[in-house]
Amino acid sequence: MATNAADASVSNALQPGTRAPEFSLLAAPGQPVTLSELEGPVVLIFYPADWSPVCSDELSMFESANGLFSDRGAQLVGIAVDSVWSHVAFKAERRLNFPLLADFHPKGEVGRSYGVYRDQDGTTERALFVLDAEHDIAWSHVSPIGISPGVDGALRAVEALS
């Protein structure tokens, strides 16, 4: 995991070699996504909020690279504390083709289980977790909240699973 002194709040993020905590969150009304039902490698993209400029850019970059992840058998999944209705509108506006999951109620429960919930502002860190096919964490990275991590690190981590 990448950290620096200015980003000390990320010390609780789960590390590689840890079993990914199970979850079931809504991608749309009545459409839950459960981690254990996802096959193959999974890239979890925790982001602070729909509609913010950095989050919009970050998720658009992942959408542009979605085919590269898919070609390697990996699925992208975004997670934020916004409501399912916000995610539905944001996903349509940004033309995203991977699920955005609502960690809305109880707020931030999944973010907390991955060690990336920010109590100080009620959002999550900007964090990436690459899970192997057994859903163990193979790679994790937390960026400063205002900086997009890009897709390169996660893509290299997925490639390393092959």
Helix (H, G, I), strand (E, B) or coil at 23: coil
Q: Is 39-128+142-162 in CATH node 3.40.30.10?
A: yes
Do 100 and 63 form a contact (C-beta atoms < 8 A)? Answer: no
Q: What is the DSSP letter of 84?
A: H
pLDDT digits (tens, 9 = 90+) for 5-52: 333 344 699 999 999 999 999 999 999 999 999 999 999 999 999 999
2: Cα within 13 Å, side-chain hemisphere: 15
Q: What is the pTM of this model?
A: 0.93
Instruction: Give the max Cα distance, the chain.
Output: 42
pLDDT in tens, 67-95: 999 999 999 999 999 999 999 999 999 99
d(CA 23, CA 34): 6
Where residue 162 falls among pLDDT bands split at 50, 70, 90? confident
Tokens of 156: 């290299």
- Residues with catalytic function: 55
Q: Where are the domains of the chain?
A: 39-128+142-162
Say how far apart CA 97 and CA 94 lie, in whole Å: 9
C-alpha span between 50 and 66 (Å, rounded)? 19
